[in-house]
């Protein structure tokens, strides 16, 4: 046999072997929510992104990505035992990167708004990037939601995301070394535990920005869902969504959710200035729980599925946002179109603009101190 014939024969054998291996290789296993790891494996700003899957003994599944330290999907049973994905998001990391959003993200360095983007730290005024009616919202246009976190999957139920926000990032002072431990518990809760330290005094207010829809379908409104907030007061806002500095009673107002009420029952009462200013609910409630993480701070219930979400926190406040800026231009998982008021966010936090309101719970962190914050999203059925 001539040499070139031998080479050709060997090439044919190699191709055949490769084709057979491809046939034998199993198709990529999707998560329970239909997500594929390969759709989240990319490189963003030089750092690798990936998908992480948590499961518990009850078959509940929580899927995370280290791009923005995000909750991507949450599969929980409804009253009939059917599994439902109860958070909004995307099928791939490219959409998270390219579509302006904070679905499921870890928010920092400062969650919520800072007036005019100005903070005073150790007698020095810092001007932060302004990205919301002249204010700084969620750490500015390049907040933690756009960062790639380091990720360590401890076991099937826990992932630790960590990030070093360098001194001067978004003009915040101090190297802030933070991490959030996300654990899926056996009682069907997502336990979020934040920690941070700094080498220079700074401000910090970390939270999670999951958009919940307990119907399991992002096409559906949340207006028929029931909401309870254990708070006698809230912090009013002006027409730029900035807190005024007041703490006002909920008594006799559409802000009173101390007993369960449909989210949509009063949301369009724009004769009430606060609903007009917020274009619905986009406000911080002053919780009665006083930092006791064992007490329920807020509850959402879907009569359609029977799914209940209880929120626990050691923070003094919770921002309740009813998806007022969703406008139907974004298509998410499974082709769902995310329209106005198709989701609710419950962001546990210090009150908005606390750096500029000295009598509110302090967001300041000094060297040698440790910032901690905890939020638990617990699911059950009625």
DSSP H or E stretch at residue 375: strand 371-381
Give the 3-state DSSP-derived string for 236-279, with helices as H, strands as E and coil as C: CECCCCCECCCCEECCCCCCCCCCCEECCCCCCCCCCHHHHHHC
Distance CA 226, CA 141 (A): 33
DSSP H or E stretch at residue 235: strand 231-235
Spatial CB neighbours of 178, under 8 Å, sequence gap ≥ 6: 108, 162, 163, 164, 165, 194, 195, 196, 204, 206, 371
CB 328 within 8 A of CB 338: yes
Nearest 10 degrees: Cα torsion 290, 113, 311, 153: -110
CA nearest to 65, candidates 150, 141, 155, 137: 150
Q: Say whether 193 sits in a helix, a strand or coil.
A: strand
DSSP assignment letter at 149: P
- Look at the block and give the residue holding tokens 């002249």: 134
On the CB side of 181, CA atoms within 13 Å amount to: 12
On the CB side of 117, CA atoms within 13 Å amount to: 17
Going from the C-alpha of 257 to that of each of 233, 250, 261, 363, the distances in angstroms are 10, 8, 6, 27
Is 209 assigned a catalytic role? yes
Is 230 assigned a catalytic role? no
- CA 85 to chain CA centroid, nearest Å: 15
- Look at the block and give the residue holding tokens 């899926």: 184
Q: Say whether 67 sits in a helix, a strand or coil.
A: strand
From the list 61, 169, 315, 347, the catalytic residue is 347
Please, where are the H alpha helices in 78-220?
93-98
Strands 330-331 and 42-44 turn out to be unpaired
From the list 135, 138, 209, 283, the catalytic residue is 209
Residues identified as active-site = 209, 347
């Amino acid at each position: 046999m001539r040499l070139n014939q031998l080479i050709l024969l060997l090439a044919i054998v190699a191709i055949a072997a490769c084709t057979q291996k491809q046939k034998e290789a199993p198709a990529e296993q999707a998560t329970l929510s239909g997500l594929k790891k390969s759709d989240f494996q990319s490189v963003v700003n030089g750092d690798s992104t990936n998908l992480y899957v948590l499961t518990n003994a009850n078959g509940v599944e929580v899927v995370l990505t280290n791009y923005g330290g995000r909750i991507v999907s949450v599969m929980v049973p409804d009253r009939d035992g059917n599994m439902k994905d109860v958070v909004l998001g995307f099928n791939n990391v490219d959409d998270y990167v390219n579509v302006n959003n904070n679905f499921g993200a870890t928010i920092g360095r400062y969650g919520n708004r800072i007036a005019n983007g100005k903070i005073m730290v150790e007698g020095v005024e810092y001007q932060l990037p302004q990205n919301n009616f002249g204010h700084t919202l969620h750490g500015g246009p390049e907040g933690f939601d756009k960062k790639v976190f380091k990720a360590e999957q401890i076991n099937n139920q826990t992932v630790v995301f960590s990030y070093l926000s360098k001194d001067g990032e978004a003009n915040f002072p101090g190297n802030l070394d933070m991490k959030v431990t996300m654990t899926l518990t056996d009682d069907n809760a997502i336990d979020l535990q934040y920690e941070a330290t700094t080498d220079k005094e700074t401000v910090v207010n970390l939270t999670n920005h999951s958009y919940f829809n307990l119907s399991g379908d992002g096409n559906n409104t949340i207006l028929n869902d029931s909401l309870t907030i254990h708070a006698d007061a809230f912090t009013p806002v002006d027409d730029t969504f900035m807190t005024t500095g007041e703490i006002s009673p909920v008594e006799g107002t559409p802000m009173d959710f101390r007993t369960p009420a449909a989210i949509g029952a009063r949301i369009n009462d724009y004769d009430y200035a606060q609903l007009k200013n917020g274009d619905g609910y986009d406000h911080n409630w002053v919780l009665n729980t006083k930092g006791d993480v064992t007490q329920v701070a807020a509850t959402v219930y879907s009569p359609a599925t029977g799914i209940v979400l209880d929120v626990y926190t050691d923070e003094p406040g919770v921002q309740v946002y009813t998806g007022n800026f969703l406008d139907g231009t974004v298509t998410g998982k499974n082709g769902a179109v995310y329209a106005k008021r198709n989701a609710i966010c419950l962001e546990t936090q210090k009150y908005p603009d606390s750096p500029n309101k000295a009598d509110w719970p302090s967001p300041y962190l000094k060297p040698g101190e440790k910032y901690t914050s905890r939020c638990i999203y617990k699911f059950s059925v009625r």
